[in-house]
């Protein structure tokens, strides 16, 4: 089961029709293989997914417009050949306490700093 949190962005991401004021951080397993949409190969393992979204009345709204800042991105935390809930929980325990710091860096579009922070944690 995925582990997630939703945090406030200090600078909202504005799209043509929506203001995304939250950052959804999810730690979960992804099976490896070729992505049919992009054609790229992705390793299997535990990833952290960072996605800007809006959150109102318990409903999450997010914009998928292609390969833009609004789509968010993922970072491989640990390569695995098969799903391990123990590893998902372990990686979530390490990453999620830094959630607000990650959200602040995301607001400032400091993606390399986010990657460096996450890699230093795990």
72: which 2 tokens? 């968010």
80: which 2 tokens? 């695995």
- pTM recorded for the entire structure: 0.83
Residue 69 is predicted with a pLDDT of: 46
Is the confidence at residue 15, as pLDDT, over 90? no
State pLDDT tens for residues 41-86.
Answer: 989 999 999 988 887 776 667 655 555 445 678 999 999 999 999 9
74: which 2 tokens? 């993922």
- Of these ranges, 9-18, 22-31, 70-79, the one predicted with the greatest mean pLDDT is 22-31
Rounded distance between C-alpha atoms, residue 102 and residue 115, angstroms:
9
Q: Would you say 96 and 2 are in contact if contact means Cβ atoms under 8 Å apart? A: no
């Amino acid at each position: 089961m995925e582990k997630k949190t939703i945090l406030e962005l200090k600078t909202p991401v504005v799209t043509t029709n929506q203001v995304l004021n939250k950052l959804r951080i999810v730690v979960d397993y992804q099976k490896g293989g070729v992505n049919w949409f992009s054609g790229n190969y992705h390793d299997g393992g535990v990833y952290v997914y960072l996605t800007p979204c809006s959150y109102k009345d318990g409903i999450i709204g997010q914009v998928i417009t292609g390969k833009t800042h609004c789509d968010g991105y993922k970072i491989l935390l640990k390569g695995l050949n098969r799903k391990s809930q123990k590893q998902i929980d372990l990686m979530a325990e390490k990453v999620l306490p830094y959630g607000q710091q990650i959200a602040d860096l995301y607001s400032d579009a400091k993606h390399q700093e986010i990657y460096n922070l996450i890699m230093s944690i795990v």
